[in-house]
């Protein structure tokens, strides 16, 4: 708990058996985490068995591989269903240190922000932590372009270490987003579309053999997906059509109409 708010850590896992326990132990050392949710995206290793041995952990296993985005959708649905007020995604590959959990939770728990990103770029930790130079250059180019097109000033859009308030998760229709890696980017675009302010904290990171990382081809595909999302955002803002992920759901529209009608009575 943090100030009577339930803190849930979600871990989208795929073939994470070697690093899951180490990540979990450091998560629980932070002392404010009420529940860990591990969603196993049909791993080929012993991820399910390892996760099942961890105390205070809910384990959910996909019948088939849904992809990184599909995994996160399950994580956030389950976190909301289990009463999470502050939901923090931590990759179970131990690439990001769980020691930032209290800081990220505080920014949300004190009502300052609804979204917090742990940035590898702030403080210059990306290259120091072993990020390949080509990945770093791509990160900087994509971030600059996305900031211009979406009117934001983030240091990076591509970190996998994120925290959200319950309010935001219920407000953002992330089910419309891709099941692939570009889910991360689409969700941030939706958050900016809804005019939420995104906070960032500096995060040391490390690249090693067991840490998950997409290959060059998937990275290129992801990069074009990010550019496509940013362009869709820009054109939607200036009124040249509206991308599906930025459209209000029928339920939201109905609620707005109802509130408007009540205000006129």
pLDDT value for 201: 96
pLDDT value for 44: 95
pLDDT value for 205: 78
pLDDT value for 194: 96
pLDDT value for 253: 40
Rounded to two decimals, the pTM is 0.89
Domain positions in the chain: 7-263
CB count within 10 Å of CB 201 equals 17
Rg (alpha carbons) of the chain, rounded to whole number: 18
Q: What is the DSSP string of the chain?
A: -BTTB-EEEEEEESS-TTTHHHHHHHHHTTS---EEEEEE-S-SSSHHHHHHTSTTEEEEE-SS--HHHHHHHHHHHHHHHTT-SEEEE--TTSSB-GGGHHHHHHHHHTTS-SEEEEESTGGGHHHHTT--HHHHHHHHHHHHHHHHHHT---S-S--S-EEEEHHHHHHS-GGGS-SSTTHHHHHHHHHHHTTPPEEEEE--B---TTS----HHHHHHHHHHHHHHHHHHHHHHTTS---GGGSPPHHHHHHHHHHHHHHT-
CB count within 10 Å of CB 109 equals 21
pLDDT value for 143: 96
Question: CATH number of the domain at 7-263, please?
Answer: 3.90.550.10
The residues, any chain, with a CB within 8 Å of residue 241's CB and separated by 6 or more, are 235
Digitized pLDDT (tens) for each residue of the chain, 265 residues in all: 999 999 999 999 999 999 999 999 999 999 999 999 999 999 999 999 999 999 999 999 999 999 999 999 999 999 999 999 999 999 999 989 999 999 999 999 999 999 999 999 887 777 777 777 888 899 999 999 999 999 999 999 999 999 999 999 999 999 999 999 999 999 999 999 999 999 999 998 776 555 555 677 788 999 999 999 999 999 999 998 889 999 885 444 445 444 444 444 4
What's the token pair of residue 177?
Answer: 């987003």
- Please state, in angstroms and rounded to a whole number, the distance separating the CA atoms of residues 97 and 26: 8
- 8 A C-beta contact, residue 122 and residue 178: no
Residues in the chain: 265
- Please state, in angstroms and rounded to a whole number, the distance separating the CA atoms of residues 262 and 265: 5
């Amino acid at each position: 708990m943090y100030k009577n708010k339930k803190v849930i850590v979600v871990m989208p896992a795929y073939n994470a058996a070697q690093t899951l326990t180490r990540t979990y132990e450091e998560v629980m050392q932070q002392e404010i985490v009420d529940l860990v949710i591990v969603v196993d995206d049909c791993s080929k290793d012993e991820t399910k068995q390892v996760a099942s041995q961890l105390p205070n952990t809910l384990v959910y296993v996909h019948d088939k591989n849904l992809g990184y985005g599909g995994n996160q959708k399950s994580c956030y649905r389950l976190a909301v269903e289990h009463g999470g007020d502050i939901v923090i995604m931590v990759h179970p590959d131990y690439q990001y240190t769980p020691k930032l959990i209290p800081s990220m939770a505080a920014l949300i728990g004190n009502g300052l922000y609804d979204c917090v990103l742990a940035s590898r770029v702030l403080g210059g930790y990306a290259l120091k932590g072993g990020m390949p130079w080509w990945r770093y250059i791509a990160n900087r180019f994509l971030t600059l372009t996305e900031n211009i097109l979406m009117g934001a000033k983030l240091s990076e859009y591509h970190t996998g270490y994120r925290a959200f308030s319950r309010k935001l998760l219920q407000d953002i229709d992330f089910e419309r987003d891709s099941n692939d890696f570009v889910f991360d980017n689409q969700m941030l675009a939706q958050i900016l579309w809804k005019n939420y302010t995104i906070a960032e904290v500096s995060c040391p990171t490390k690249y090693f053999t067991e840490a998950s990382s997409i290959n060059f081809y998937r990275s290129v595909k992801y990069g074009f997906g990010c550019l496509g999302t940013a362009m869709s955002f820009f054109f939607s803002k200036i009124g040249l059509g509206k991308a599906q992920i930025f459209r209000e759901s029928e339920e939201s529209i109905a609620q707005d109409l109802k509130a408007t009608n009540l205000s006129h009575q």
